């Protein structure tokens, strides 16, 4: 487990790119007292400019592509993109649909892929911890 | 169950009259096109009814939305996806778009009016939508909601796929209404095939659907607390909901119950120990009741909820509102009561209603509905005790056209399905409660202050994924 600074201070911006909302339900569950990640200093931030981590779900819908790219461009280094769920990871149920891409995490060059349809809150917490570890390695 | 969907041909020139006649005593469910055939669907006293209108080459569809604004999304969809030419539509913008051609928002103009745009990416864990808010001082004059950012063109892609193999995808069209949608889809296939299910399976489906309703209602109540800035309420609601999700996992192997209802029955091995589930639910029921009572007794919270985002009954009626949002404005629209299906047929059930139409009414109604769900769960699980649920039946898929409707947590969820003799999808059209209710959210905000938008929006808490598809 990461012991660096990011382990206790992670600003998360969440991007939904054609998800079914199941992944969002489990991301929201992280705020339940059973997990309560705010106690670890993690939270959803109001702007990509404040973010250390971009979590992304869905196969990447055509309509979201541009806004998603702008969001990632707005984040300052160091940051990590985390693909949440099978759709974002590239082999979810929607990855071959009409106006969907091959996984939003693949398009946005995610470094971490949290698998599951949807991933459990425990898996999500592990994924975010791994992101903190990566960030601690990258920080200048 | 036999197929109780009926349809009759109605010529284009006679459609308006037929709709005028039906709309006063049947719930309109929308209209959709399969190539050049448009079906306008109602839920009548005898079940779903379709008016089938075939458009000749070059013939145009005369907009129903001009008189019945409820049809606007439906018409914009068939224009965008099936290329139906819609005449004199009140909103001609395409319902779907790609990143390089986002439709312009409709904004109010006038002295002292200014605008704010939020989205499609938001500061939360929520689905994408762009809201263009025209304001006069602090008050909202008009909101333009641009959805469709999650559009994946699912319906055209479904065509030609095998109906039975598609079930896991149907379960994932939207995570909030998965059980309800799977149930509607299973019923469509089963009713076309004339398959009857055993009582145990029907009770199991009812139990699963009510567990979904409880977790979604708790989430929505927590979201209302969040919209009002009462974080403690949100955390507590999420904590109670988490207990349901853990129970879901225990009974079905999936925290959100995906794939628990399948064509021909319920997932094998599900709900294996009804007694344990009942005991867990009884404890949970007490805790939920305590939490909800305390929440709705909190005066500082009530001051935010009362009078915010009012939807008058007449407005709800004009837009054929469904689900808790419709019932909070006094509209009787609970499919479990008005067109009972499955095990609901055996229950004497009168739906919960409220009159206020404000955020408070939508919250308080959900609290009452949760209590009713626990009643259903108690009785359904008692029925399951000592029964061994069969593994799903093999269904011989039969050709035909059908619409089914079930009551999801957010309201009427309909599935319109056309199957070929080889068991493949000719057309699968999915219309969700959220699709029906979205236009209400924007109207509920008119005259409210801008900072109440999250609160009013969360009091509907509509999904996007099943709207955008
Ligand atoms: S991975 Fe599963 S839960 Fe997540 S968005 Fe895709 S279908 Fe929904």
Q: Parse chain A into domains and list their residue ranges.
A: 10-135
Dihedral over Cα of B215, B217, B221, B226: its sign? positive
Write the DSSP symbol of residue B162. B
Tens of pLDDT, residue by residue over B413-450, are: 999 999 999 999 999 999 999 999 999 999 999 999 98
Q: Measured in angstroms, how far is the CA atom of residue A84 from the centroid of ligand 1? A: 9
Ligand 1 atom at minimum distance from B256 CA: 3
Distance between CA B317 and CA B329 in Å, rounded? 9
Distance between CA B27 and CA B333 in Å, rounded? 8
- pLDDT range class, residue A139, cuts 50, 70, 90: low
Cα–Cα distance list, B15 to B22, B62, B251, B278 (Å): 11, 9, 48, 50
Distance between CA B134 and CA B118 in Å, rounded? 12
Residue window 232-291, chain B: list those with CB within 8 Å of chain A: 234-236, 238-239, 241-242, 245, 255-256, 258
- pLDDT range class, residue B301, cuts 50, 70, 90: very high
- pLDDT range class, residue B322, cuts 50, 70, 90: very high
Does the beta carbon of A22 lie inside 6 Å of ligand 1? yes
Question: Do the beta carbons of residue A85 and residue A23 sit within 8 Å?
Answer: yes
Distance between CA B352 and CA B327 in Å, rounded? 7
Distance between CA B147 and CA B464 in Å, rounded? 7
Distance between CA B306 and CA B45 in Å, rounded? 35
Q: Which residues contact A26 (CB under 8 A, 6 or more apart)?
A: A118, A119, A120, A121, A124, B255, B256
Distance between CA B63 and CA B397 in Å, rounded? 35
Residue B375, pLDDT > 90, answer: yes
Maximal C-alpha separation, chain B: 71
Which of A16, A26, A96, A101 to substitute to test the interface with B, most B CBs within 10 Å? A16
| Secondary structure element (H or E) that encloses residue B37, with its range | strand B37-44
| Radius of gyration, CA atoms only, chain A | 14
Query: Percent of chain B having pLDDT more than 70?
Result: 100
More confident residue, B90 or B203: B203
B149 reaches A (C-beta below 8 A): yes
Residue window 67-96, chain A: list those with CB within 8 Å of chain B: 67-68, 71, 93-94, 96
Overall average pLDDT of the B72-78 stretch: 93
What strands, in cross-sheet order, belong to the sheet with B47-54? B6-9, B47-54, B37-44, B27-34
Instruction: Find the closest chain B residue to A50 by CA distance.
Output: B123
Residue A3, pLDDT > 80, answer: no
Question: Do the beta carbons of residue B259 and residue B253 sit within 8 Å?
Answer: no
Query: Percent of chain B having pLDDT more than 90?
Result: 81
Distance between CA B37 and CA B432 in Å, rounded? 21
For residue B25, give how far its alpha carbon lies from the nearest alpha carbon of chain A (Å). Answer: 34
β-partners of residue B40 are B31, B51
| Alpha-helical segments (H) within B228-348 | 231-252, 274-295, 299-305, 313-318, 323-327, 335-338
More confident residue, A8 or B266: B266
Atom 2 of ligand 1, residue of closest alpha carbon: A117
The mean pLDDT of chain A is 92
Question: Do the beta carbons of residue B226 and residue B304 sit within 8 Å?
Answer: no
Overall average pLDDT of the A31-47 stretch: 92
Fold annotation for A10-135: Rossmann fold (3.40.50)
Half-sphere exposure of B351 (CA within 13 A, CB side): 23
Ligand 1 atom at minimum distance from A117 CA: 2
Cα–Cα distance list, B315 to B312, B356, B392 (Å): 5, 13, 43
Question: Do the beta carbons of residue A114 and residue A84 sit within 8 Å?
Answer: yes
| Alpha-helical segments (H) within A5-120 | 22-29, 65-74, 85-89, 104-107
Partner residue facing B238 (CB), from A16, A28, A59: A28
**Main-chain phi, psi angles of B42, to 5 degrees:** -125, 155
Report all structural domains of chain B as residue ranges with CATH numbers, in order of start: 6-87 (3.30.460.80), 154-437 (1.10.645.10)
Ligand 1 atom at minimum distance from A59 CA: 6
How is B88-130 classified by DSSP, letter by letter?
S-S--S-S---TT-PPPPP---STTEEEEEE-SS-SSS----E
Model pLDDT, residue B452: 92
Q: Measured in angstroms, how far is the CA atom of residue B427 from the centroid of ligand 1? A: 23
Q: Coil, helix or strand for A53? A: strand
What are the strands, taking DSSP E only, across A17-125?
42-44, 53-57, 80-84, 112-114
Model pLDDT, residue B398: 95
Distance between CA B242 and CA A36 in Å, rounded? 12
Q: Which class for A140: exposed (0-12), middle (13-18), buried (19 or more C-beta within 10 A)?
A: exposed
Model pLDDT, residue B102: 85
Number of H helices, E strands in chain A: 5, 5
For residue B295, give how far its alpha carbon lies from the nearest alpha carbon of chain A (Å). Answer: 17
A29 reaches B (C-beta below 8 A): yes
Model pLDDT, residue B95: 87
Partner residue facing B235 (CB), from A17, A33, A99: A33
| Alpha-helical segments (H) within B402-448 | 433-444
Overall average pLDDT of the A78-98 stretch: 92
Neighbours of B269 (CB within 10 A): 11
Overall average pLDDT of the A91-99 stretch: 86
Closest C-alpha among B442, B143, B453 to residue B308: B453
Q: Measured in angstroms, how far is the CA atom of residue A88 from the centroid of ligand 1? A: 8
Ligand 1 atom at minimum distance from A86 CA: 1
Residue B1, pLDDT > 70, answer: no
Model pLDDT, residue A11: 94
Tens of pLDDT, residue by residue over A121-132, are: 999 999 999 999
Q: Measured in angstroms, how far is the CA atom of residue B277 from the centroid of ligand 1? A: 27
Partner residue facing A21 (CB), from B151, B176, B242: B176
Considering only CB atoms, which chain A residues are within 8 Å of B239? 32-34
pTM > 0.90: yes
**Main-chain phi, psi angles of B437, to 5 degrees:** -95, -15
Model pLDDT, residue A137: 86
B460 reaches A (C-beta below 8 A): no
Does the beta carbon of A92 lie inside 6 Å of ligand 1? yes
Model pLDDT, residue A99: 82
Residue A1, pLDDT > 70, answer: no
Atom 5 of ligand 1, residue of closest alpha carbon: A19
For residue B415, give how far its alpha carbon lies from the nearest alpha carbon of chain A (Å). Answer: 17
Strands A80-84 and A42-44: unpaired
Overall average pLDDT of the B4-17 stretch: 93
Q: In Å, how far from its chain's centre is CA B119?
A: 23
Can you tell me the ipTM of this complex? 0.93
The mean pLDDT of chain B is 93
Distance between CA B49 and CA B68 in Å, rounded? 18
Does the beta carbon of A118 lie inside 6 Å of ligand 1? yes
Do A63 and B123 make contact, defined as CB atoms within 8 angstroms?
Answer: no
Tens of pLDDT, residue by residue over B400-410, are: 999 999 999 99
Q: Measured in angstroms, how far is the CA atom of residue A112 from the centroid of ligand 1? A: 16
Model pLDDT, residue A2: 46
The single residue listed with the structure tokens 């109207």 is B443
Do A98 and B152 make contact, defined as CB atoms within 8 angstroms?
Answer: yes
- pLDDT range class, residue B463, cuts 50, 70, 90: confident
Maximal C-alpha separation, chain A: 44
Do A117 and B172 make contact, defined as CB atoms within 8 angstroms?
Answer: yes
Instruction: Find the closest chain A residue to B223 by CA distance.
Output: A28
Overall average pLDDT of the B336-360 stretch: 91
């Amino acid at each position: 487990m990461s012991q660096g600074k990011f382990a206790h201070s992670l600003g998360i911006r969440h991007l939904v790119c054609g998800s079914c909302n199941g992944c969002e339900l489990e991301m929201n569950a992280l705020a339940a007292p059973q997990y309560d990640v705010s106690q670890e200093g993690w939270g959803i931030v109001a702007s990509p400019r404040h973010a250390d981590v971009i979590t992304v779900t869905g196969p990447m819908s055509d309509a979201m592509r541009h806004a998603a790219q702008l969001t990632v461009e707005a984040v300052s280094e160091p940051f990590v993109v985390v693909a949440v769920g099978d759709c974002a990871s590239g082999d979810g149920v929607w990855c071959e649909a009409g106006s969907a891409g091959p996984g939003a995490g693949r398009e946005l060059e995610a470094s971490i892929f949290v698998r599951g349809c949807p991933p459990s809150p425990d898996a999500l917490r592990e994924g975010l911890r791994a992101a903190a570890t990566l960030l601690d390695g990258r920080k200048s | 169950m036999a197929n109780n969907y009926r349809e009759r041909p109605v010529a284009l020139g006679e459609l308006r009259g037929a709709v005028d006649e039906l709309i006063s005593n049947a719930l309109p469910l929308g209209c959709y096109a399969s190539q050049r055939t448009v079906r306008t669907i109602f839920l009548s006293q005898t079940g779903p009814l379709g008016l089938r209108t075939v458009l000749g080459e070059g013939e145009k569809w005369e907009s129903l939305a001009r008189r019945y604004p409820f049809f606007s999304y439906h018409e914009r969809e068939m224009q965008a996806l099936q290329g139906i030419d819609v005449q004199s539509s009140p909103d001609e913008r395409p319902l779907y778009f790609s990143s390089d051609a986002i439709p312009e928002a409709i904004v109010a103009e006038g002295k002292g009016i200014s605008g704010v745009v939020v989205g499609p990416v938001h500061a939360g864990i929520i689905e994408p939508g762009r809201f263009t808010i025209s304001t006069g001082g602090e008050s909202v004059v008009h909101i333009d909601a641009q959805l469709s950012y999650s559009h994946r063109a699912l319906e055209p892609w479904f065509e030609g796929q095998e109906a039975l193999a598609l079930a896991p995808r149907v379960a994932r069209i939207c995570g909030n209404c998965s059980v309800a949608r799977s149930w509607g889809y299973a019923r469509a296939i089963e009713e076309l095939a004339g398959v009857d299910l055993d009582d145990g399976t029907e009770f199991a489906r009812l139990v699963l659907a009510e567990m979904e309703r409880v977790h979604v209602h708790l989430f929505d109540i927590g979201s209302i607390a969040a919209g009002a800035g009462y974080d403690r309420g949100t955390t507590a609601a999420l904590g109670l909901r988490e207990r349901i999700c853990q129970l879901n996992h225990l009974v079905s192997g999936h925290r959100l119950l995906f794939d628990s209802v399948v064509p021909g029955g319920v997932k094998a091995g599900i709900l294996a120990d009804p007694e344990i589930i009942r005991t867990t639910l009884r404890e949970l029921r007490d805790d939920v009741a305590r939490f909800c009572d305390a929440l709705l007794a909190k005066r500082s919270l009530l001051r935010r909820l009362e009078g915010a985002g009012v939807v008058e009954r007449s407005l709800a009626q004009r837009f054929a509102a469904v689900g808790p949002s419709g019932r909070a404005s006094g509209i009787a629209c609970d499919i479990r009561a008005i067109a009972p299906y499955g095990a609901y047929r055996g229950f004497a059930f009168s739906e919960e209603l409220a009159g206020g139409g404000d955020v408070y009414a939508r919250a308080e109604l959900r609290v009452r509905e949760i209590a009713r769900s626990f009643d259903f769960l108690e009785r359904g699980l008692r029925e399951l005790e000592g029964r061994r649920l069969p593994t799903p039946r093999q269904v011989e898929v039969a050709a035909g056209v059908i619409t089914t409707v079930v009551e999801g947590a957010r309201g009427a969820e309909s599935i319109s399905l056309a199957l070929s003799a080889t068991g493949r999808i000719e057309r699968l059209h999915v219309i969700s409660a959220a699709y029906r209710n979205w236009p209400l959210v924007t109207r509920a905000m008119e005259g409210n202050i801008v900072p109440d938008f999250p609160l009013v929006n969360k009091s509907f808490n509509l999904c996007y994924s099943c709207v955008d598809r």
